[in-house]
Amino acid sequence: MNETTSIVPAGPLNIEVYTTYKVGRGLYIYLSPILLVFGLVGNVLSFLVMSKRARAPPPTYLYLTVLAVVDVLALYVPCVRGWLVFVADIDLMVVLHCSWYFIVYFSVCNMSVYIVVSVTVDRFIHTFFPLSAKRWCTLRSTVYVLISVSTLVSVINFHYPWTMKLLVTTSNSSGSSRYQCVTAPGYEAWMSDVWPYLDLTIYSFLPFVILMLCNLMIIYRLAVQSKKMKKMRSGPRSTADENKGKMKIKPSKTTVMLVVLSFILLLTTSPVVALHISETFWDRSHPSQAALHFLITAISEHLMYLNNCLNFVLYFLSAKKFREELKVTVLKRGARRVQPSNVENTLATVT
């Protein structure tokens, strides 16, 4: 049992005096609630806008609607846990007996990543195979993809009931008990030498490669179309033809958004996985090293949380249609709240 999973370093080490520990603790206490509020508001607004078109083609809206829900779960499960550990001394990982916490946590994180991959592949098919896309990329096929992805990531992460266990240690002096999630006997090699690299591939590298290949090919296709349009514009063309040409080039804004999303995904998720790979190289028996490891863990985890908060910002900055739909949605809901008071005022006037 060479691996423990706990936010606060285990053992009698006095790391509270180190500045690195204090900064890391401050991130969990003060930054986590900000991300929780920002992520919840952003994803709820994204859900309200996207869900209006979720049952109508193209299936992109259905993907993004589900992504908003999954991002809330991927943000709240670990972020609330970290906050409660330092504010209320409650560890949800222990409450859920370790294995079930890990199954839910890693499944929703992987689901969030692969929904973005699915959206990108969907756009790739529409760009290169527009005729076949009408037959392949339907609402029904989108539902099948979402069900398949959720099932697959759950199966991949279902090893935790066997590979992790809850360890209870009781202090002889105080009689108090300490709960830790540790690697189960016989699975040390799997959890230290195999699973971290597999997790890095599934959660970070594989999605990034797929996203970048698809997006670069889409950008290349749009660039070729743009050159063709410029050549055609040099000759006599009708106004209708010019408008068609502009419409073909217009999707590049969405493409840029997905390329940015790909880089954000890699930058915000790879540090925490890389940290897991380097666990065996850390000497946490020394207080200063343990405090530094704690700070790096806090930073890498909050970068990962940030990934689940930024989709709304990208939608808002890059999509004019999203901003318009958001404005209509907010105004409609505001009107509904104002309407009852207006009715009461009218009745009072009549009386």
Give 15-326's CATH code, choosing from 1.20.1260.10, 3.40.50.12500, 3.40.630.30, 1.20.1070.10: 1.20.1070.10
- Cα Rg of the chain (Å, integer): 25
Look at residues 340, 305, 294 and name the one whose alpha carbon lies nearest to residue 19.
294
For residue 200, give the amino acid letter. L
Q: What is the DSSP string of 7-69?
A: SSPPSS---TTSHHHHHHHHIIIIIHHHHHHHHHHHHHHHHHHHGGGTTSSSTHHHHHHHHHH
**Using CA atoms, how far apart are residues 217 and 260, in angstroms rounded to an integer?**
15
- Structural domain boundaries in the chain: 15-326
For residue 233, give both structure tokens.
Answer: 């514009």
Phi, psi angle pair for 181, to nearest 5°: -95, 120
Q: How many CB atoms lie within 10 A of CB 281?
A: 6
Q: Is 0.85 topped by the overall pTM?
A: no
The label of the residue with tokens 């408008």 reads 243
The answer to whether 260 and 315 have CB atoms below 8 angstroms apart is: no
Which of the four pLDDT bands, split at 50, 70 and 90, describes residue 126? confident
pLDDT of residue 21: 93
Tens of pLDDT, residue by residue over 187-225, are 999 988 898 888 888 988 898 889 889 888 988 888 887
Tens of pLDDT, residue by residue over 245-261, are 444 444 456 666 777 77
Enumerate residues 6+ apart whose C-beta is below 8 A from 218: 123, 124, 127, 255
Q: Is the pLDDT of residue 302 over 60?
A: yes
